[in-house]
Structure 1
Amino acid sequence: MIEPQYRQIARVVQDVSGLVLGPDQGYLLSSRLGPVLRQNGLVDLMALAQRLALPGATELARQVAEALTTNETSFFRDRLPFDHLAGTALPRLAAARARGATLRVWSAACSTGQEAYSVAMLAREVQGSLGGRRVSIFGTDICGKVINRAQEGVFSTFEVQRGLSPERLARWFIPEGPNWRVQPGLREDCRFEVGNLIGQISVSGPFDVILLRNILIYLDKQTKEQVVEACLRRLAPDGVLYLGAAETMLGLSTRVTPLPEYRGAYCFTGALQGMPA
C-alpha cells in the first residue's frame, strides 16, 4: 500500500510540474528531499506532506518539485536531431526568411544549458548555409538552480566530455581552473529564464524551432497534450518541433506530422506541401 504522505507529495509535484511519480518511485522522495526538509525545519516526509496540505505552501511545493525534477542532459545528446537541425532544418528555415532575419529557437526544459549551447555551436558552424541570418536561442526550465548554471555557462571536465569533441571544446570554451567556460560570443546567442511548461508560460512566439526533448516521457497523457499544445501555439507555421528519441506525438495532436527525413521532428501538417523534396 502506498503511504498517504507519498500520495500527497506526488499529487503536489504533479500539480506543480506535471511530473508523474509512480508507486515504485518512493525512493526518490527519500534520496532527494533531504535538503528541502532541512531547509524548512521538517523532521520527515510526514511533516512535509502535512505542511504541503496547508494554505500558502506554494513556495514549498515549488522546492519539492524542483528537487524531484530530472535534470539529466549532455552536449549534442542523441546526435541525430542536431544533424538534422544543422543540415536540413536551419538552412530550410533560413531560406524562407528575409535577409537579416533572426531565427528563433526555444530549448524547453533546458536544464543546465547544454542543449541550448549545442544549438548555438551548430548555428555558428553552419553560418554559411544560413545566408548571414543569426540564430537566437532561448532556454527555459522550471528549476531556478539549473537556470543559474546555464546563465553562468561554466561546465566541469566531466560535463564537457559528454558529447563535445576536442575540436569543439577548444573552439568554443575557455579553460577556467578545473572547469570550462563558454566563449562570450556563444553566450550572447543564448538567453535563459525560469519557466514552467504547465503553468502560465511567459514565452512569446513564434519560434522557428522548438526543442521539447525528453520531457513528455515523465508526464501523463493529459499533461502531455497541454504541453504540446502550448508549444504548438508558439511554433511558426513552417517551424520544426523536436521530441526526444523515446517520444512520439502519436495520440497527442493531429495538427503535426513527422518530417519524412527525420521522424523525431514534426511540422504542421499543411507545411509539408510547401517544403522542397
Structure 2
Amino acid sequence: MAISDSSSRILAGLLEARTGQQLTMSRRWRIETALSSVMRERGIASIDELITQLVMNKDPNLADHVVEALLNNETYFFRDRSPFDMIARDFLPALREARADKKRLRIWSAGCSTGQEPYSLAMIFAEDPLKWAGWDIEIVATDVSNHVIEKGKQGVFTHFEVQRGLGIQQTIRWFDEKDDGWHVSDALRKMIRFEQHNLFEAPPRPQTFDLILCRNVLLYFCSERRGEAFAKFADVLDEDGGLLLGAGETVIGQTDRFAADRNMRGIYRTIASPEADRRAARA
C-alpha cells in the first residue's frame, strides 16, 4: 500500500527534528518494512493509523520508537576494509610517535550503530599488544539510537554478523560462542565507552579527540546540518588529529574547517576557523 505524501512529510519532519537526518528517497521505499514491527507490537493496522496516533501524542514513547525504526543501522566489522588498513598502517604510527610522551589516545566513533566499527578499532590495538603496552586508549562510541547503543554495550552478535568482515582466526580470538550468540572479549570491551548522543548536542567526554570517525552518517543530513557537524568535529579534534568520513562523503563545498590530508587518503585535517585566527591575532 502506497504511503501518502502527507504521511511521508510527517515522518520526515519527525526524523529530522529528532536526529537532523533527512528521510531520503532510499529510505522512503522501505518505510512500511521499517515500521512493521512498531505497528505489530501496538496492533496498528496501517501507516495512516500510526500517523494519527503520532499526531494525537497519546503514547509518548511512540515517536521515539518510530524514529529508531527509521534510522539506517547498516554496519559490519572492518566495513570497507581499506580505511582500517590505512589507520593501522599510516595514521596510528604517526600519532603514536606524536603522543609518545603522554601515551594516551582518544578516538570518537560517531554514528557507531551496533558497535562493529569501534570493536574493529579495538582489534587493531589489541592485535599489536607490544606496540601499545602502557598506553591509555579510549574509544568513545556514540549513536542517536538508544537501541543500537544497548546492543553495542552488550557486545553479543549473531553468527551472520561476525562473519561479515571477520576471518575465522579473528572470530576465535576475540569472541566466545555461547547459546545466545558470539560475545566480544573483555579485552576489546574495556577500551570502548558506549553512549547515546546526538551530533548536534555538546560533544561527549573527553571533548578532545585524536581521531574521529563519522562514516556514512553525514550523507543523510542537509548541507546546513553537515556544516554544523563539521564545526563541532573541528572544535574537539586535536590540532594534529584526523577525521575519517565514509567513501561517499567529502568536506568539499561543505565546510571551511577541514581539508584533505595529501599523504593519507581519506583523512581530513582541521583548518583554523576565522574566529580562531582573529583571537590569535589579538593575543
Question: Do the structures match in fold with TM over 0.5?
Answer: yes
2:168 aligned residue: 166
In structure 1, how many angstroms separate the alpha carbons of the residues matched to 2:52 and 2:126? Answer: 51
**How many residues are treated as equivalent by the alignment?**
270
Cα separation, partners in 2 of 1:198 and 1:64, compared to 1, 3 Å? farther
In structure 1, how many angstroms separate the alpha carbons of the residues matched to 2:177 and 2:57? Answer: 48
1:80 aligned residue: 82
- SS at 2:30 equivalent: helix
> For residues 67-216 of structure 1, what are the structure 2 equivalents within 5 Å?
67-130=69-132, 132-177=134-179, 179-199=181-201, 201-216=203-218
In structure 2, how many angstroms separate the alpha carbons of the residues matched to 1:178 and 1:25? Answer: 31
Supply the AA of the counterpart residue of 2:260. P
Supply the AA of the counterpart residue of 1:92. A
Range with greater deviation from structure 2 (251-260 or 71-80): 251-260
Supply the AA of the counterpart residue of 2:108. W
In structure 1, how many angstroms separate the alpha carbons of the residues matched to 2:27 and 2:78? Answer: 29
In structure 1, how many angstroms separate the alpha carbons of the residues matched to 2:26 and 2:91? Answer: 40
Q: Give the CA RMSD over aligned residues.
A: 2.4
Q: CA deviation at 1:257?
A: 1.5
1:242 aligned residue: 244
Q: CA deviation at 1:27?
A: 3.2
Q: CA deviation at 1:227?
A: 1.8
In structure 1, how many angstroms separate the alpha carbons of the residues matched to 2:116 and 2:194? Answer: 12
For residues 195-233 of structure 1, what are the alpha-carbon distances to aligned partners after superposition, in whole Å with 9 as ceiling and x for unaligned? 112345444410111000011122211121122222222
1:15 aligned residue: 17
Range with greater deviation from structure 2 (166-175 or 66-75): 166-175
Q: Percent identity?
A: 37
Contact 1:209–1:241 (CA under 8 A) maintained in structure 2: yes
Q: TM-score, normalization: structure 2? A: 0.86
- SS at 2:99 equivalent: coil
Supply the AA of the counterpart residue of 1:120. A
- SS at 1:4 equivalent: helix
In structure 2, how many angstroms separate the alpha carbons of the residues matched to 1:23 and 1:257? Answer: 30
Cα separation, partners in 2 of 1:134 and 1:87, compared to 1, 3 Å? farther
In structure 2, how many angstroms separate the alpha carbons of the residues matched to 1:94 and 1:131? Answer: 12
Cα separation, partners in 2 of 1:261 and 1:149, compared to 1, 3 Å? same
Cα separation, partners in 2 of 1:230 and 1:55, compared to 1, 3 Å? farther
In structure 2, how many angstroms separate the alpha carbons of the residues matched to 1:70 and 1:25? Answer: 8
1:33 aligned residue: 35
1:257 aligned residue: 259
Q: CA deviation at 1:22?
A: 3.5
In structure 1, how many angstroms separate the alpha carbons of the residues matched to 2:132 and 2:192? Answer: 18
Contact 2:126–2:187 (CA under 8 A) maintained in structure 1: no
Range with greater deviation from structure 2 (182-191 or 58-67): 58-67
Contact 1:211–1:241 (CA under 8 A) maintained in structure 2: yes
Contact 2:260–2:269 (CA under 8 A) maintained in structure 1: yes
In structure 2, how many angstroms separate the alpha carbons of the residues matched to 1:263 and 1:42? Answer: 48
Contact 1:94–1:133 (CA under 8 A) maintained in structure 2: no
Cα separation, partners in 2 of 1:55 and 1:230, compared to 1, 3 Å? farther
For residues 99-146 of structure 1, what are the alpha-carbon distances to aligned partners after superposition, in whole Å with 9 as ceiling and x for unaligned? 353201111111111100110010122344457423211101111121
Any stretches of 5+ residues in structure 1 without a counterpart?
Answer: 271-277
Supply the AA of the counterpart residue of 2:136. R
In structure 2, how many angstroms separate the alpha carbons of the residues matched to 1:227 and 1:233? Answer: 10
- SS at 2:266 equivalent: strand
Q: TM-score, normalization: structure 1? A: 0.88
- SS at 2:160 equivalent: helix
Q: CA deviation at 1:178?
A: 6.5
In structure 1, how many angstroms separate the alpha carbons of the residues matched to 2:26 and 2:269? Answer: 36
In structure 1, how many angstroms separate the alpha carbons of the residues matched to 2:64 and 2:218? Answer: 20
